[in-house]
Amino acid sequence: MAYTGDVIVRDPEILGGVPVFRGTRVPFKNLLDYLEGGHTLGEFLEEFPSVTREAAIAALEHAKELVLAQTR
- The pLDDT tens digits for 9-56 are 999 999 999 999 999 999 999 999 999 999 999 999 999 999 999 999
Give Cα 6 distance to the centre of its chain.
11
Does the structure show a pLDDT above 60 at 58? yes
What angle in degrees, to the nearest 10, is found between the helix axes of 28-36 and 53-70?
Answer: 80
Tell me, what's the pLDDT at 28? Answer: 97
In the chain the beta strands, taken as DSSP E runs, fall at 8-9, 20-21
Task: Give all domains of the chain, ordered by start, each with its CATH number.
Answer: 4-70 (1.10.10.10)
CA distances from 24 to 20, 29, 69 (A): 7, 13, 28
Task: Give the global pTM.
Answer: 0.86
**Given pLDDT bands bounded at 50, 70 and 90, which one contains residue 5?**
low
Residue 3 has pLDDT above 70, yes or no: no
The answer to whether residues 20 and 9 touch, using CB atoms and an 8 Å cutoff, is yes
